[in-house]
Chain A
Amino acid sequence: MTEFLQQLINGLAFGSILALIAIGYTMVYGILRFINFAHGDVFMLGAFAGFYLAPKIAAILPLPSIAGGIVVLLASMAICAALGVVIERFAYRPLRRQPKLTMLITAIGVSLFLEYTGQFVFGAAPKSFPPILPVYPIARLGGLSFNSNQLMVFSVTLFLLLALRFIVLKTKIGTAMRAVSFNPEAAALMGVNTDVVISFTFALGSALAAAAGILWAINYPSIDPLMGILPGLKAFVAAVLGGIGNLPGAALGGLIIGVTETLVSGYISSTYRDAIAFAVLILILLVKPSGLLGKKEIEKV
């Protein structure tokens, strides 16, 4: 039982990080109806931004410390938000009226560009991420270990998801986002500046990916330029699993993938862990083709 609980906690921590990345996929899909393949690499850049910022911030604030860690997190989110806006502006916006597949190929190009540039600039060898948060063991109940880093993952994820919910549901720009996702032409006719809304969506999604990158690096402190590929893919699976375009669905999908993957690799076979996410996805889509919380699209003739 203890071992099961331990696995569950690990799975939920992994799942929370996937959920943060998945939300970026799903938000962009909801608005532009295209898969932003470069999103996993923004996650990677988030971790690297933290890696290079940490020594600079250590000059002002003591590291590891809670305040310092949060500053690193926020700074990396800001950098990636700007990067997301730049990517959208130069790589995707010129193609907005073209078939979605061309945008997909540019996204693949951007993804390759970020990976190869990362290997060139940061070096291909893995780097060890500096400790930016103090680690306290919180609970040691009958062999169950639960430390402050995992608590940090849960609390940051929860806070960011609540903030996102507030932005999307209560603010003016959030209303505009929902309007554009519902019908971009009608929203534009109602005076919504769709360009600004799309830029904002990319900024928001990329900031969440950066936060995921930092949280990932805190828990698994070895980062390399290709680290975004697999988590990006799994987060994308999570977004589809929950019903792509649906925000709570992406969070739910992330948690499901994270927990199943951890439990399967703990109890059945760890070498099959990378296939689990896909197996779960295929099983669920066979039963519910539009994902768990996705709306069934009615075909109009």
Chain B
Amino acid sequence: MNFRHAKTFLLGAIALGFLASLFADKINPYWLFIFYDIGISIVMAVSLNLINGYTGQFSLGHAGFMAVGAYTSAVITNQFGELSFFAANGIFAVALLAGGLAAALAGLLVGIPSLRLRGDYLAIVTLGFGEIIRVVLQNLDVVGAARGLSVTHNWTNLFWTFGLAAVTVYVVASLVNSTYGRGFIAVHDDEVAAEAMGINTTKYKVTAFVIGAFFAGIAGGLYAHAKFFITPSGFGFQQSIMFVVMVILGGMGNTVGVILAAILLTLLPEGLRMLSGIEYLPGLTAERPLGWIGDTRMIIYSLLLIVLMLTRPQGLFSLKKSSQLKIKN
């Protein structure tokens, strides 16, 4: 991404999101929900990319942070009844921010053991934290325990989803492209060398966790107010793994690639579902010739994942080595 145009991109995306949200009632609600999912996946994948891709710390608990943000913001907005347009959006912004901050606090807690652990050990500990968050939510009666929590307000719209996705992309991209942010990449490339050059690797690792968790919390808030209903099992480690898949498929540390992978992986199951609904194909006599895809679409999805990794192990979209990133003056 060209960073001279980064601010233009940010403003453009927010404006586009705003314009699109004005026409939201013209869009088929089915597609609207898919668009929300895409925006939320982008926030999740791009923020995870800061931890896994740029800083090289392997986190498998991103859905846990999302859960913290989702529950925090939902508990806040559930206190309010019907509100005017401005009040509603104001409260929503505050709730999203609170969700983000709560998740950032959780990120700080997870970041601290990462001072001592590396690689797979860190991965399993982050996975463990994610699962512990889920189990604790499952036992908290104030938020409905395993039954789940219904969310009163459906305030998530295209403006918030894509506006916040753009903010996430902007913050993460300008962070790693700043002088300060080179430290993240240095930790990724060679921790020992980075330390020898006087970089406080501990600080960078924890910062990556806190910022990544903050945006995951915001994504959680968006998710909660798009779905009306959240359950702890919606934030299990399978979800965390899907976000990791997006990061790796996008080519670790390549923001544009990660965004594309997030879009692709969100659309893929829906696309397969649509294929199975096709009524007629030239040359085939059977009614709904691709109907078999309906039952097997998740099998096809997992096979595609394997085939993609086998054929493009460097990620779907060309990976730029951090050493090839242009150094900005």
Residues of A within 8 A of B (CB): 29, 35, 91, 94-95, 98-99, 101-102, 104-106, 108-110, 112-113, 116-117, 120, 229, 233, 236-237, 240, 244, 269, 271-272, 274-275, 277-279, 281-282, 285-286, 289-291, 299, 301
Whether B310 contacts A94 by the Cβ 8 Å rule is yes
Known: A108-B305, A113-B306, A278-B129. A120 touches B295 (CB 8 A): yes
Whether B248 contacts A301 by the Cβ 8 Å rule is no
Whether B135 contacts A105 by the Cβ 8 Å rule is no
Q: In the assembly, what is the distance between CA of A286 and CA of B295, in Å? A: 45
Of the residues A94, A112, A229, A279, contact of B305 by C-beta under 8 Å = A112
Kindly provide the distance from the CB of A193 to the nearest chain B CB, expressed in whole angstroms: 23
Q: Mark B226-255, 1 if CB is under 8 A from A, else 0.
A: 000000000001100100110011001000
Q: In the assembly, what is the distance between CA of A94 and CA of B312, in Å? A: 11
Stretch at the interface among B42-50, B72-80, B115-123, B176-184: B115-123
Kindly provide the distance from the CB of A261 to the nearest chain B CB, expressed in whole angstroms: 12
Kindly provide the distance from the CB of B199 to the nearest chain A CB, expressed in whole angstroms: 15
Stretch at the interface among B98-106, B167-175, B274-282, B296-304: B296-304
Of the residues A95, A120, A285, contact of B113 by C-beta under 8 Å = A285
Q: A113-B303, A116-B302, A272-B135 given. 6 additional CB < 8 A pairs?
A: A101-B58, A113-B306, A278-B129, A281-B128, A285-B113, A299-B192
Whether A112 contacts B302 by the Cβ 8 Å rule is yes
Kindly provide the distance from the CB of A118 to the nearest chain B CB, expressed in whole angstroms: 10
Q: In the assembly, what is the distance between CA of A36 and CA of B248, in Å? A: 17
Q: List 6 A-B contacts (CB under 8 A).
A: A101-B58, A105-B249, A110-B302, A116-B296, A289-B118, A301-B193
Q: Is B313 an interface residue (CB 8 A)?
A: yes
Chain B CB within 10 A, most for which of A108, A237, A244, A299: A108
Whether A281 contacts B301 by the Cβ 8 Å rule is no
Known: A285-B121, A285-B125. A271 touches B138 (CB 8 A): yes
Whether B306 contacts A281 by the Cβ 8 Å rule is no
Q: In the assembly, what is the distance between CA of A274 and CA of B132, in Å? A: 8
Known: A113-B302, A281-B128. A271 touches B139 (CB 8 A): yes
Whether B131 contacts A275 by the Cβ 8 Å rule is yes
- Closest B residue to A92 by CB, please name it: B310
Q: In the assembly, what is the distance between CA of A98 and CA of B308, in Å? A: 14
Interface residues of B in 126-140 (CB under 8 A from A): 127-129, 131-132, 135-136, 138-139
Whether B116 contacts A282 by the Cβ 8 Å rule is no
- Closest B residue to A233 by CB, please name it: B237
Known: A98-B313, A120-B296, A299-B192. A274 touches B131 (CB 8 A): yes
Whether A286 contacts B113 by the Cβ 8 Å rule is yes
- Closest B residue to A299 by CB, please name it: B192
Whether A102 contacts B309 by the Cβ 8 Å rule is yes
Q: Nearest 10 pairs between A and B by C-beta?
A: A278-B128, A112-B302, A275-B135, A109-B305, A109-B306, A113-B302, A98-B313, A116-B298, A102-B313, A106-B309
Of the residues B127, B192, B295, B309, contact of A109 by C-beta under 8 Å = B309
Of the residues A95, A109, A272, A281, contact of B124 by C-beta under 8 Å = A281
Q: In the assembly, what is the distance between CA of A94 and CA of B310, in Å? A: 7
Of the residues B128, B193, B245, B249, contact of A237 by C-beta under 8 Å = B128
Whether A281 contacts B125 by the Cβ 8 Å rule is yes
Chain B residues with CB under 8 A of A105? 244-245, 248-249, 305, 309
Chain B residues with CB under 8 A of A29? 120
- Closest B residue to A240 by CB, please name it: B124
Whether A282 contacts B128 by the Cβ 8 Å rule is yes
Q: In the assembly, what is the distance between CA of A262 and CA of B301, in Å? A: 37
B interface: dominant SS: helix
Q: In the assembly, what is the distance between CA of A126 and CA of B131, in Å? A: 24
Kindly provide the distance from the CB of B197 to the nearest chain A CB, expressed in whole angstroms: 12
Chain B residues with CB under 8 A of A229? 238
Interface residues of B in 288-329 (CB under 8 A from A): 295-296, 298-299, 301-303, 305-306, 309-310, 313-314
Kindly provide the distance from the CB of B327 to the nearest chain A CB, expressed in whole angstroms: 24
Of the residues A35, A101, A285, A289, contact of B248 by C-beta under 8 Å = A101
Kindly provide the distance from the CB of A273 to the nearest chain B CB, expressed in whole angstroms: 8
Q: In the assembly, what is the distance between CA of A229 and CA of B192, in Å? A: 36
Q: In the assembly, what is the distance between CA of A91 and CA of B116, in Å? A: 32
Chain B residues with CB under 8 A of A99? 313
Q: In the assembly, what is the distance between CA of A299 and CA of B195, in Å? A: 13
Whether B132 contacts A279 by the Cβ 8 Å rule is yes
Q: In the assembly, what is the distance between CA of A117 and CA of B314, in Å? A: 27
Whether A101 contacts B252 by the Cβ 8 Å rule is yes
Q: In the assembly, what is the distance between CA of A113 and CA of B304, in Å? A: 10
Whether A244 contacts B120 by the Cβ 8 Å rule is yes
Chain A residues with CB under 8 A of B138? 271
Q: In the assembly, what is the distance between CA of A94 and CA of B311, in Å? A: 9
Chain A residues with CB under 8 A of B127? 233, 278
Whether A240 contacts B237 by the Cβ 8 Å rule is no
Chain B residues with CB under 8 A of A240? 120-121, 124
Of the residues A113, A233, A244, contact of B299 by C-beta under 8 Å = A113
Kindly provide the distance from the CB of A162 to the nearest chain B CB, expressed in whole angstroms: 28
Q: In the assembly, what is the distance between CA of A282 and CA of B193, in Å? A: 28
Chain B residues with CB under 8 A of A269? 139
Chain A residues with CB under 8 A of B306? 91, 106, 109-110, 113
Chain B residues with CB under 8 A of A272? 135, 139
Whether B310 contacts A289 by the Cβ 8 Å rule is no
Chain B residues with CB under 8 A of A95? 309-310, 313
Kindly provide the distance from the CB of B79 to the nearest chain A CB, expressed in whole angstroms: 27
